[in-house]
Structure 1
Amino acid sequence: MPSYEDMVLGGLGRHADNTALVATSGHEPLAILWGGTRFERWLGQEIQSLEVERLSADIAHGIREITQNALQSRTPAATHCIRARQGTIESTGLLALPLANRQGVPFVLLCIDGVTSRLDLVDAIFRATNQGMLALSAVRDDEGHVSDFTILALNEGAARLLQRPASDLCLQRLSSVVPNLPATNILQRLAQILDDGGRDSFEFTYPTTSGRQIDFKVEIGCIGDLLAMTLADISDVKAREASSRLLFESNPVPMWLFDPESLRILRVNDAAVAHYGYTRQHFERMTLLDIRPREEWDDIRRVVDRLTNVDGLSSFWRHLRSDGSIIEVNTFARTITFEGRSAVLTAAIDVTERRQAEARVAYMAHHDALTELPNRILFRERLEAALADLPRHGGELGLLCLDLDNLKLVNDTLGHPAGDEFLREAASRLRHCLPAGDLVARLGGDEFAILHFNMEGIQDTLALAARVVEAFNRPFAIQRQQIVSGASVGIATAPANGTTTDVLLRNADMALYCAKAGGGRTYRLFDVEMDNRLQAKQVMEQDLRQAFVEGQLDLHYQPIISLLEGRITGCEALLRWRHPVHGHIPPAEFVPLAEDIGLIEPIGEWVLHRACREAATWPEGIRVAINLSPAQFNSGKLVDCVSSALSCSALDPGRLELEITESVLLLKNEATMTALHRLRDLGVQIAMDDFGTGYSSLSYLRSFPFDKIKIDRSFVHELGENKQSTAIIRAITGLGKSLESTTVAEGIETIEQLEHLRADGCDEVQGFLLSRPVPAAELKQLLATWHPDRLAL
């Protein structure tokens, strides 16, 4: 029986011309054993056991690749064999079929697949590049001299750059394509290249038909009697160069170029000439050393020796101007290429005035601009230094912290310029109080501090504090007005009250707090009990925060009774706190604390929601009264909070009364009054609490129509005993009737007080005589069992 390969080869028929048989070893082709006539033509040589290594590299590469693919996959494989021949690129498809002979050694049958395609390589490059390419033929006169050139061929890149169709340019004379060509030396240069048979490059400007000029970089090469020309548009490069020159020459910053080897100044701009005062000719004869003081020459040499490809190097130097004056400059340098060689471009920024300003700023950083006194930073530094020297030199050190009174009043009534004058006068008075060597500083606002050296005992420091208080008790003459001020002083001494800055300042502040709490215009010396009270306050702060988070706060309600009808018309919600260790904490203690630590706003929001929710369960017609803190007005969220509480509880807005004190109206401003009117628009009632205890109650009644006026308990307490209190209550109830406002008296503890209020025409009352504040659960029982006869005590 014939072998498989004999059968395959014998059955090729007319396809035998396109095929060849390849012997292999280890998946590598060794030799072509047999091939058809077309295959031989494709190879370009006769096949007689032709070794693959003897083939051209491009053919051998293609055969190896397709043979390996066919043998490894054991299936037919296909590829394109690419080869370059005489400037032409040929692409031929090959198909490989794996075979086996009697011995089991694999063979591969190669077959040319399809038609070989050819591409002119030069033409492909000619058409593909974006650069302009032209072929020029010389035009000679009768004597054989070159007079012009004809464009024999060009690519699309050249047509695009010349902004004319290729068909219009082909076979045209170069002089008819490039305007004013005879007026240039371009034809002579092209002729010279043709005669010399060499190469050249140059630049020229080409005016387009649109009026725009294009800068071309031209490269020329000679090929026999032809010239090959390439064009590249360098307009952007030229524009950047022009911009760079303009940036250098017209830059307002002094600039120059210098040679890093000789240090000679090569170019200088107008700004440098004007700023340094040298003429341009003089400047460009100088070296880098000539504009620097001699003592800095070694430094500049060391810096320049290290210059290699500088990019953005910044340095600080002193420079000499032509008049001999020295200026301080920051220089910025970078290496550039200038006229074919390396140079360093330097820009110099004069910082003389800035450095002087920085010195002023450094002074101002440690001094108060308004009073010229040392500020908190310098005072702290001096205090730390004094405490560090204390163990070495012995003695004592006094620290006095003080606050001034009425600065806000001066600012609000006379304006901030008057407030500034007040502070300058205060600083002057403090300077006059001090013995030599002491230091006074303004810490900020109306806060000052004194560092008292060379103490001769505590009495010496107390005497200084007394002088300060006395100095501020004298009126200030500000803008032709007498301003009565005052000062509170807190004193701490070292080492008795502390040996570190923080401890001493803390203790002096604590003593100042006690002086202010005692009414002000006095001084206090720190003692340990102050610290104990402060620590107790801090513990209470933490406990109050925890109490709010853990729900330890509660609301009790005190009934408000109508004297006319004898029924309960409302209940005042009162905040209560039962401490797990200390028991009942009076609201007078923890409410101001909540205001100080910023907790009153969330507590107030909780009270609103809780009280509205519980009031919604009471009988119709019974209102709930809730006290508001000034801090709730300051937040700007009060109206939204009230609206949310009413919405969540579904309480009729007419059943909610909001009680405010005169301290809220002391903040009288547009925002406060707007908030009050918005609350009124919600339908709630507004009551003024503690009426008659402030300074301007009547003016407040005029500025806002209150629904209810609450008479302060201090007047009620003296009913029947103090004629003035009785008269005040009678006046308030009469005023309420005139203004159509309900009057409420609180703090009723005796039958006599009740009868006086009834006789004076008071509308409503509340107090221990009628009912103490009770929890919500007890209130429901009280509301259910209340009878008007209880007023007939």
Structure 2
Amino acid sequence: MDWGPIRAAQLNAGNQLALFLLAANVFGALLILLLLKEIAPLWLLVSWAIAVTTVASVVVMRRLATRNRNRATASVREVRDTLFDGLALGVVWAIAPVAFGFTASGGAALGLWIVLSILMTASAVAMAALPLATTAFLLVLGITVSATLGLAVDPVLSAAALFFTALLIFACFVRGKALVVIRANEIALAERDETVSLLLREFEENSADWLWETDAQRRVVRASPRFAYSVGLDPIAVNGMPFLQVLAGPTWETGEFAAGLRTLAERLKTREAFRDLLVPVTVNGEERWWEIAASPRFDERGAFIGFRGVGSDVTEARKSTDKINRMARYDLLTGLPNRLLINEALARAMADAEKWGGRCAFMMIDLDRFKAVNDSLGHPIGDRLLGRVSERLQQLITENEVIGRLGGDEFAVVVRDARDTERLEQLAKTIIHKLSRPYEVDQHTLYIGASVGLAIGPRDGRTAEMLVRSADLALYRSKDAGGGVYHVYEPQLHVAAEERRVLEIALRNALQNDELHLNFQPVVNADTGGLTGFEALLRWTHPELGPISPAKFVPLAEDARLIAPIGEWVLRHACNEAAKWDDDVRVAVNVSPEQLHNPAFVAVVAQALAQSGITPNRLELEVTESVFMREGTGAVKVLEHILDLGCRLSLDDFGTGYSSLGYLSRTKFSSIKIDRSFVQGASKGVREAIAIIRAVVALAQSLGMATTAEGVETEEEHRMVQELGCTKVQGYYFGRPLPAHEALHLATRRKRGESVAA
């Protein structure tokens, strides 16, 4: 704390008894002069008395010089200077026992010791507020008196004098400490009073806060102008009105009170203290929100006499809170309920369905081809498209449904009453139909679609989380079916999802556990049937689940972000096996788009070539058309760097995906692989398939590329692709995928000039 005011209080207390101190010193010196005038030289006594009077007068004048000042603080130096006052008085009074104590006897000696004792007591009283001055005076005079008594009279009296001096010093210390404590409390109370005054002044200046008071009958008493202004009534008229009537306003007559007013009425009825109670109040036709607190009042006999409380207008804070709550529960882009509010609505629907024995439903909606719009036209167009989608969805729902956006291009519908299954399925069809119609956005005509997954509770899930999971599985099935359809959840979907989860866990350990291996399918010359190379095909044999189809685990690896390490393993092992073959036998390795979108893949290829020792032209990387659909990912640059290494590129599954004719002219592919679906269609005489194969062959020839027909299984199919102009053939007719040692044996037969078909 600040000790300045305490030191000022000590000095002020010492100044108040300054004249008493002067009178005590002068009167004491006069008494000793009268007692010792017969036994001591008069000039010596008078000189000593004058010295005492002079020193006492100087000390007192110093005190009185600051007596009338309004001192709020004092320095440490000012308090320490009082030490010299005590020392001066102690020294001048110590002359008396030294100069006269040894010659005095009888009544004179007794009178001397009595006068000195009285003087010490009086000085202790007068200077108690100044511990340094008092202690110095008492120590100097007390020690001198004690020494004189011990030498001139009796050691016992000397000890008594010392004890008396110690008592006086202790009493002065106690009184000085009490003065400090009292003054500290006074300062604390003054600060507290000032703080309360400031708070009350600020409270009075704040127009949003007011005080209120009621009597035992809950009627307003002593209404302040601020309270009357807050309720829009006259300060005189509001006195005597029921407090609830004042707050209820127009609803007082109808009795349709808000929940907050009912709670207030209950608290007033039970005479309980309350705080932070929110009450809606209508003032001049405008709804306001008040936060009130109050405590019951009792008289001296303990009888209840009413309530006294405070109130605050928190309308603006309430609006801010409502705005924050809305932002937390509504999507900023579309204005639809977001995931949080959808989950709350679904939980309420589930609770009502369980309570009344009914059914509710949950739909998950995912937009088809929306990503292509974002990638090609940019996110601003995509955002505006989502706004149009939300407008169409809002037109379809009734009071029975709640629609919201879960995030990205996913929407959801909560159906509170789903007992009408036909209407539920019709709603899903209508959503797909409406969302699939074209959109006009910024002079762009956009076509997207929608897939829907539907789950009915509590049949498909006893909790909201389970129902969402079921709808998600149904949506996953709709997407797998190509989109544009809806599916209702079936228990088999959960089995498939669990199988997928188990496979993903197993696949993460497949590399470490050496469960993956490569098979090699021969690729032959269409005219001679001679071996030109092998395509490396990944296989997985689980120790418990057995062989697992690539159609299952390859998409799973792509979704689980495992395709990069697995693809790197395939590339390295394929190159190592190719190193055992002749130098003109190539190895083809399928590469995922995810690998090509990583610039570091070029280094992976270079390391695989360097470690295996094969020449780059023996490695052929097969890519699909989907690699070109993601703009700005750098896949084309990665392919160019791979070509710079000397490797060959093959476009796999040509014609089954998005058109990539533009990329054929910019990327130096060595060959185009014709999908087996076209080969099988052509073998059955399908004219479109035959025309496509001829067109691909003509296109490849014009660009200086080879063509490889996949899925050739019979001699007739072999002759057909020969006639259509394909340069290379791959299929079961020439060999199934072979283990590494059998592929090496087949390459050895090639050295002897044997045909692969043989």
TM-score by length of 1: 0.56
The CA RMSD over aligned residues, in Å, is 3.8
Tell me the residue number matched to 1:734: 698
Which residue of 1 is the match for residue 342 of structure 2?
379
Is the CA contact (8 Å cut-off) linking 2:567 and 2:591 kept in structure 1? yes
The answer as to whether partners of 1:404 and 1:487 remain within 8 angstroms in 2 is: yes
CA contact (8 A) 1:200 1:221 kept: no
Question: By how many angstroms is 1:357 displaced?
Answer: 4.4
Partner of residue 746, structure 2: 782
Q: Indicate the residue corresponding to 2:574 in structure 1.
A: 611
Give CA deviations for 1:169-205 in whole Å, capped at 9, x if unaligned. xxxxxxxxxxxxxxxxxxxxxxxx999789999xxxx
Query: Partners of 1:525 and 1:264 in 2: how far apart?
Result: 68
CA–CA distance in 1 between the matches of 2:64 and 2:566?
A: 93
AA at the equivalent of 1:778: E
The separation in 2 between residues aligned to 1:290 and 1:296, in whole angstroms, is 16
CA–CA separation in structure 1 for the residues paired with 2:599 and 2:540: 27
* Deviation for aligned residue 1:625: 0.8
Alpha-carbon spacing, 1:375–1:689, altered in 2? closer, same or farther (3 Å): same
Counterparts of 1:227-242 in structure 2, within 5 Å, are: none
Confirm or deny that 1:261 pairs with 2:226: no
Q: CA offsets, 1:451-487, max 9 Å, x none?
A: 1123343223223223322322333332344433322
**CA contact under 8 A between 2:597 and 2:633: conserved in structure 1?**
no
- Which residue in the other structure is 1:773 paired with? 737
Change in CA separation of 1:514 and 1:724 when aligned onto 2, cut-off 3 Å = closer
Contact 1:748 1:769 in 2 (8 A): yes
1:39-69 C-alpha deviation (Å, 9 max, x unpaired):
xxxxxxxxxxxxxxxxxxxxxxxxxxxxxxx
Name the SS of the counterpart of 1:555 in structure 2: strand
Report the Cα offset of residue 554 of structure 1: 0.9
Q: Which SS does the other structure have where 1:260 is aligned?
A: helix
From 615, 630, 637, give the equivalent of 1:674. Answer: 637
Is the alpha carbon distance of 1:449 and 1:614 closer, same or farther for their aligned partners in structure 2, counting shifts above 3 Å? same
- The superposition leaves residues 603-634 of structure 1 with CA deviations (integer Å, 9 ceiling, x where unpaired) of 11110111111111222222211000112123
Alignment partner of 1:756 is 2:672: no
How big is the shift at 1:495? 1.8
Counterpart of 2:729 in 1: which secondary structure? strand
Could you tell me whether the CA contact under 8 Å between 2:654 and 2:673 is conserved in 1? yes
The alignment status of 1:630 with 2:562, answered yes or no, reads no
Preserved CA contact (<8 Å) 2:598 2:635: no
Change (3 A) 1:354 1:415: farther
- 1:467 is matched with which residue? 430
Higher relative helix content: 2
1:725 pairs with 2:689: yes
1:49-88 to 2 correspondences below 5 Å: none
Distance 2:686 2:339 in 1: 52
Amino acid across the alignment from 2:727: D
1:295 to 192, 211, 230: 211
Is contact 1:688-1:710 (8 Å) kept? yes
Q: Identify the residue that residue 712 of structure 1 maps to in structure 2.
A: 675
Letter in 1 for 2:695: A
Partners of 1:649 and 1:196 in 2: CA distance: 110
Query: Which moves more between the two structures, 464-473 or 696-705?
Result: 464-473
In 2, the alpha carbon distance for the partners of 1:761 and 1:294 equals 96
Give the aligned length: 497
Shift of 1:769: 1.7
Q: 1:396: how far off? A: 1.3
Question: What is the letter of the counterpart of residue 374 of structure 2?
Answer: N
Q: Which residue of 2 aligns with 1:449?
A: 412
- Answering whether residue 388 of structure 2 is matched by residue 425 of structure 1, we say yes
**Aligned-pair distance for 1:740?**
2.2
Superposition deviation, residue 425 in structure 1: 2.3
1:360 equivalent in structure 2: 323
Q: Is the 8 A contact 1:198 1:221 kept in 2?
A: no
1:388-430 per-residue CA deviation (whole Å, 9 max, x = no partner) reads 2333222111211111223323334444333223222222222
Return the alpha-carbon distance in structure 2 between the equivalents of residues 497 and 618 of structure 1: 57
TM alignment of 1:480-559, pairs within 5 A: 480-559=443-522
Alpha-carbon spacing, 1:295–1:693, altered in 2? closer, same or farther (3 Å): same
How far the C-alpha of 1:387 sits from its partner, in A, is 1.8
What is residue 254 of structure 1 aligned with on the other side? none
Higher relative contact order (CA 8 A, sep 6+): 2
Matched residue type, 2:557: A
Paired with 2:501 and 2:196, the residues of 1 have a C-alpha distance of 73
Separation in structure 2 between the aligned mates of residue 559 and residue 713 of structure 1, nearest angstrom: 15
Distance in 1 of aligned mates of 2:597 and 2:387: 31
Shifted more, 498-507 versus 716-725: the winner is 716-725
Matched, 1:601 2:561: no
* SS, match of residue 511 in structure 2: helix
Query: Pairwise mapping of residues 147-296 of structure 1 onto structure 2 (< 5 A)?
Result: 259-263=191-195, 286=201, 289-291=204-206, 293-295=209-211
Q: Is the 8 A contact 2:365 2:412 kept in 1?
A: yes
Distance 1:554 1:412 in 2: 37
1:17-46 Cα deviation digits (max 9, x unpaired)? xxxxxxxxxxxxxxxxxxxxxxxxxxxxxx
How far does residue 639 in structure 1 lie from its aligned partner after superposition? 1.6
The percent of aligned pairs where both chains have the same amino acid is 39
Query: Offset at 1:366?
Result: 0.6
Q: Deviations over 1:328-377 (max 9, x none)?
A: 9xxxxxxxxxxxxxxxxxxxxx9997875454222110111112111101
Deviation string 1:482-535 (CA, Å, 9 cap, x unpaired) is 433322221111222122011111111111122222232222221222222222
- Provide closer, same or farther for how the CA distance between residues 668 and 719 of structure 1 changes in structure 2, counting only shifts above 3 A: same
The answer as to 2:584 corresponding to 1:652 is no
Contact 1:265 / 1:288 at 8 angstroms: preserved in 2? no
Work out whether residues 432 and 449 of structure 2, in 8 Å CA contact, stay in contact via their aligned partners in 1: yes
- 2:628/2:635 contact within 8 Å kept: yes
Q: What is the CA–CA distance in structure 2 between the aligned matches of 1:685 and 1:263, rounded to whole Å? A: 86
Q: In the superposition, relative to structure 1, how do residues 508 and 728 fare at CA in structure 2: closer, same or farther (>3 Å)?
A: closer
Structure 1 residue 445, shift from structure 2 partner: 1.3
> Equivalents in 1 of 2:709, 2:622: separation in Å?
13
Give the 3-state SS of the residue equivalent to 2:448 in structure 1.
coil
Q: Distance in 1 between matches of 2:461 and 2:469?
A: 9
**Residues 353 and 678 (structure 1 numbering): CA distance in 2 closer, same or farther, change over 3 Å?**
farther
C-alpha separation in 1, matches of 2:646 and 2:493: 48
Tell whether the 8 Å contact from 2:526 to 2:718 is kept in structure 1 after alignment.
Answer: no
In the alignment, the residues of structure 2 paired with residue 726 and residue 522 of structure 1 have an alpha-carbon distance, to the nearest angstrom, of: 31
Distance 1:738 1:540, change over 3 A: same
**C-alpha displacement of 1:263:** 4.2
Contact 1:565 / 1:788 at 8 angstroms: preserved in 2? Answer: no
Does the 8 Å CA contact 2:619/2:647 hold for their aligned counterparts? yes
Distance 1:649 1:199, change over 3 A: farther
- Shift in Å, 1:671: 1.0
Q: Which has the higher strand share?
A: 1
Q: Which residue of 2 aligns with 1:128?
A: none
Give the distance between the partners of 2:755 and 2:390, measured in 1 at CA. Answer: 65
Go from structure 1 to structure 2 and tell me whether the alpha carbon gap of 1:421 and 1:650 turns closer, same or farther (over 3 Å shift): same
The answer to whether the Cα contact below 8 Å between 2:450 and 2:485 also exists between their aligned partners in 1 is: yes
Instruction: Name the aligned partner's letter for residue 716 of structure 2.
Output: E
The CA deviation at 1:758 is 3.5
Q: Which runs of 5+ in 1 are unaligned?
A: 1-192, 202-215, 225-257, 267-282, 298-315, 319-325, 329-349
- What secondary structure does 2:597 align onto? helix
1:583/1:361 Cα in 2 relative to 1: closer, same or farther (>3 Å)? same
C-alpha change, 1:354 and 1:571, in structure 2 (3 Å) is farther
